[in-house]
Structure 1
């Protein structure tokens, strides 16, 4: 049973239990007071954990810009070393095969699908010029209302094109960073220094972003979401630079600067909680992932096969009757020649049942599940020609025009009609939340928010 605590709002919120549940409540919950109470509970818990992590952010704020620039230079040097190794024939360092890359894209999706959420709570400060950099960063995460540039729209489109839709298969720990971002977005008033610090840490260009983009393209996967962040997070004029400027502009002049900076440092360290991208990449085990996938499918298939086909004396239904039998089932398929490991999967009868004209099991496995099976069967085999590098089309591949007949757009237009510009801003802000901004009405609201902001400034 989940333990409950009661905060000053009077709302009972979970203090233990699944991170996925917290994430979903923060993203989708209808009760604003309950979301805020849950956000406070999440942040108080995670900030206690962050306090035990090493301090990386310099204590002298005058050193922040050089700290960020040095980090960027170090990343550039390490990436140059990576490229040199690859040009000399070295292997990919991140993704052993395409299934590995899809596994990564799915595993990090809880964070990517709320990109920028930690800054949402600052939108009511739009009149204060000190928040210009932070709010501008958030609006750029939203693509300024253009779906072709909205980070969440781009990532959703990437997952859809790859057939990666397995939220039930994502480990609970991988919802932590997304939950932290959503909690910060709900708590900007009470946790402003932590928001500023988290933003400073998150907007530093990581090496894994560059390598991921390179290797995704090599595997024929659109790297645009990652290359977009490489350019937008630069330390010269991009989000990393704005993050430093925001720290300097929002430090108290005569208030308790020391405590404010302590809290900024804590917020910075929130980025280091949970599994990072490298840890997720290194956790991939193709054979284990195939078995986990088959276990998810097993309850649906254990009574669906006829009894005429037997492997080592057992029917398929008998093999699928218990999860511990799955490794033996795969071995039996190999022993009978239905799976020919380390060869072209097309040579395996089992693969022919899954893919191709007249495949008896057509539609049983998702594109991601088929990729797992394909790469597991292929093993050490490689085609004569590697996958061509991805060539991205124009950004117009994401529809830029918003549907006028969308019911949410119509409702928003009605809500705005007849209202003065400042009142419209209050109506628009909820539509720029993590749950709404990637929808047509949210994109429209983002455009209108930017338009009014420039008029009312």
Structure 2
């Protein structure tokens, strides 16, 4: 089975224009993503061609978009009510069989969530063009308007860290395609503005899977706030879904041929289908396969860490771990010798005791996510009968995120917003010390700039997908928004 898994994985490793993963990190880490547009133009063209034949319910006339939006939301709402009725009647979860399954999903979609909103970055260079106002508004709100507690990437990064899923950069190539598309749109906005607008229109529509995901994460003691935020901020009446429709009409005057414009917008909508879908990622989870993958990853170091006297089924543990293809037989050997007692409480298995608990000899070897996978696999058929604390962990604590954001603005000495047109500072410049010299230098440089256009160009560089969630990126976002909103 492990050999088959490797073959299937290898078959999806690359796109016709190279590795999605390599493209992803090349664009994310580029000093100037706009200058990286050329090398990824072929990748973007290939994805547009690959999704060209996909179907969509989006109308081809801009005047029909509001009706389409209303009908879509009504359909999704009715489907969600049907889901809730089935759950209240005792039906099982639709997506996640266990907490390990849900955490697998959080980790697998990380490459996309960690560039949330990236496709709109290119419009920040055109901040003076009122025909792009809705798009810029959406992008700044994706960035939390500079408040870390509301910045979507910062929120997801924290969600990953809390659940031990922050090793997402080791995922296979197939998980990076959608994120690479979003970054490629950011890098090629100058030549693909209608496609950016269309992609945004498709992405900001409320999907049924978002509602169900939030509901089931909460059941599994995983904070659903990142997902519930998107069900509110993307609403069709005043939120991003509505603004996305307005953006289509606002930008249309830029193009002489409205029919061709809408055709390109439609192509952008279809780009949302690039790469693995949410449901494909959920469905491909295999608990046994994930256990094998985790042991294979640990074996690269673990094969040197055990004394030769440590044997299972007459073979040293180092010898078992020396060959990654031996992980399935190794698991069988541990079951046969009683080291693992499947379909029982994991605490009854000696293998579990080697790493679970602060006094365990292998404490810290497995992340929280990896321990959850191993727990669910060992418990097997008895999982749902396990105590809730052991099966789901401690309940997540709901935090009033908006209140947290407001308090951050009041108490954080680095939370500076300065109206560069009127000269009014909302927060004073922090005193320089070893932990904030970059912040002070950044603000001094901002205040030394007299040219508004040059200033906004400089700030826009810090709003890039790879920087906006950093302390300086958040600071730049606050300055950018302050300057943009000034009436002078």
The 1:402–1:346 alpha-carbon spacing in structure 2 relative to 1, beyond 3 Å, is: farther
The 1:221–1:391 alpha-carbon spacing in structure 2 relative to 1, beyond 3 Å, is: same
Partner of 1:449: 480
Partner of 1:383: 386
CA contact (8 A) 1:311 1:333 kept: yes
Is the deviation greater in 366-375 or in 36-45? 36-45
The 1:161–1:21 alpha-carbon spacing in structure 2 relative to 1, beyond 3 Å, is: same
The structural deviation recorded for 1:177 is 1.0
Partner of 1:414: 444
1:371 and 2:377 matched: no
CA contact (8 A) 2:223 2:398 kept: yes
CA RMSD of aligned residues (A): 2.0
CA contact (8 A) 2:34 2:122 kept: no
Q: Report 1:324-343 matches (<5 A).
A: 324-343=325-344
Q: Report 1:293-372 matches (<5 A).
A: 293-372=294-373
Partner of 2:284: 283
Q: How many residues align?
A: 444
Q: 2:454 aligns with which of 416, 420, 423?
A: 423
Is the deviation greater in 392-401 or in 234-243? 392-401
For residues 244 and 33 of structure 1, the distance between their equivalents in structure 2, rounded to whole angstroms, comes to 26
CA contact (8 A) 1:219 1:390 kept: no
Partner of 1:251: 252
Is the deviation greater in 120-129 or in 274-283? 120-129
* Unaligned ranges ≥5, structure 1: 1-13
For residues 358 and 171 of structure 2, the distance between their equivalents in structure 1, rounded to whole angstroms, comes to 32
Partner of 1:201: 202
For residues 463 and 234 of structure 2, the distance between their equivalents in structure 1, rounded to whole angstroms, comes to 21
1:393 and 2:399 matched: yes
For residues 152 and 249 of structure 1, the distance between their equivalents in structure 2, rounded to whole angstroms, comes to 27
SS at match of 2:486: helix
The 1:201–1:146 alpha-carbon spacing in structure 2 relative to 1, beyond 3 Å, is: same
The structural deviation recorded for 1:219 is 0.8
Partner of 2:59: 58
The 1:292–1:392 alpha-carbon spacing in structure 2 relative to 1, beyond 3 Å, is: same
1:104 and 2:134 matched: no
The structural deviation recorded for 1:212 is 0.8
Q: Report 1:135-174 matches (<5 A).
A: 135-174=136-175
For residues 190 and 254 of structure 1, the distance between their equivalents in structure 2, rounded to whole angstroms, comes to 12
For residues 209 and 109 of structure 2, the distance between their equivalents in structure 1, rounded to whole angstroms, comes to 13
The structural deviation recorded for 1:330 is 0.7
SS at match of 1:236: coil
* Unaligned ranges ≥5, structure 2: 1-14, 415-429
**With structure 1 as the length reference, what TM-score do the two structures score?**
0.93
Partner of 1:237: 238
CA contact (8 A) 1:217 1:389 kept: no
The structural deviation recorded for 1:119 is 0.5
